[in-house]
Amino acid sequence: MRNHAKRKVPIAIKLLLAVLAVAVLLGGGLFAKMQYEQSIMTPLATGEVIPGIYAVNNGFVNCYLAGQGDEYLMIDAGNDIRQTKAALEQLDISPDAVKAVFLTHSDSDHAAALSLFPDAQVYLPALETQMIDGTTKRSPMGYNQLDREYIPLEDGAVITSAGFHVRCISTPGHTPGSMSFFVDGRYLFVGDTMSLHNGKADLFNGFYNMDSAAQEESIRNLATTTQPEYIFTGHYGHTDDVDAAYEAWR
């Protein structure tokens, strides 16, 4: 009867298997964390929020339209082109009527549906360029992407589009180039610069912020320099009680 010696697994393969196991565990944990963070967000349903301002729901995120009739400007562009297209059909707004898209930052959940608006002028904060040109990583996984020509926006710039005047306010923190847009001195679109909890302005989810300390300063700056009638966020709805939202920040 022949004895068979056990084959030894090379150390290199053992190490590789161990690394793969750790990667799977970390990846699973990261996915679970992302799912949780998204589950606590409270975006608006698709519809006209107030006269002339429309929310577009993409699951856990909103983008917005401002306008009436044949011309609209858009704040951010949505996380999914199919959901964005379906929402516009629900609103009876043609993608061709969108004349400009103002991106609060370059994360994919705010820019992924840009191709639905091939004729719209795209605006991106100038300081956000670093997130898409290989200068600054969004995460250990890599850089953001934006396969579209755009006009860079500087802090304090005022752009006229679709009959609206859009004032650009640099609000870094979520990303270095994050920007809020103050439209006609009435509507403040902040993207992921803040959340709203029980009508109170607060930091956005720290899990996604690149610099929460900078975001604190950005919220304080908005609270002391703007008095809009409405604040619209990317993931936490809107408020028309601005004094209550800003109370802790003044």
Whether domain 43-249 has CATH 3.60.15.10: the reply is yes
Assign 3-class secondary structure to the chain: CCCCCCCCCCHHHHHHHHHHHHHHHHHHHHHHHHHHHHHCCCCCCCEEEECCEEEEECCCCEEEEEEECCEEEEECCCCCHHHHHHHHHHHCCCHHHEEEEECCCCCHHHHCCHHHCCCCEEEEEHHHHHHCCCCCCCECCECCCCCCCCEEECCCCEEEECCEEEEEEECCCCCCCCEEEEECCCEEEEECCCEEECCEEECCCCCCCCCHHHHHHHHHHHHHHCCCCEEEECCCCEECCHHHHHHHHC
CA 210 to chain centre: 13
Give the per-residue pLDDT at 30. Answer: 83
Give the per-residue pLDDT at 9. Answer: 61
Give the per-residue pLDDT at 150. Answer: 98
Residues 216, 51: Cα–Cα separation, whole Å: 31
Residues 92, 227: Cα–Cα separation, whole Å: 31
Give the per-residue pLDDT at 20. Answer: 54
Structure-derived torsion over alpha carbons of residues 81, 116, 84, 170, reported in degrees to the nearest 10: 100
Give the per-residue pLDDT at 25. Answer: 47
Residues 46, 248: Cα–Cα separation, whole Å: 30
Distance (Å) of CA 18 to CA 8, 26, 31, 104, 187: 16, 12, 20, 41, 53
Low-confidence ranges of the chain (pLDDT < 70): 1-9, 12-28
Give the per-residue pLDDT at 118. Answer: 95
Q: How many C-alpha atoms does 214 have within 13 Å on its Cβ side?
A: 14
Question: Phi first, then psi: what are they for 165, rounded to 5°?
Answer: -105, 120
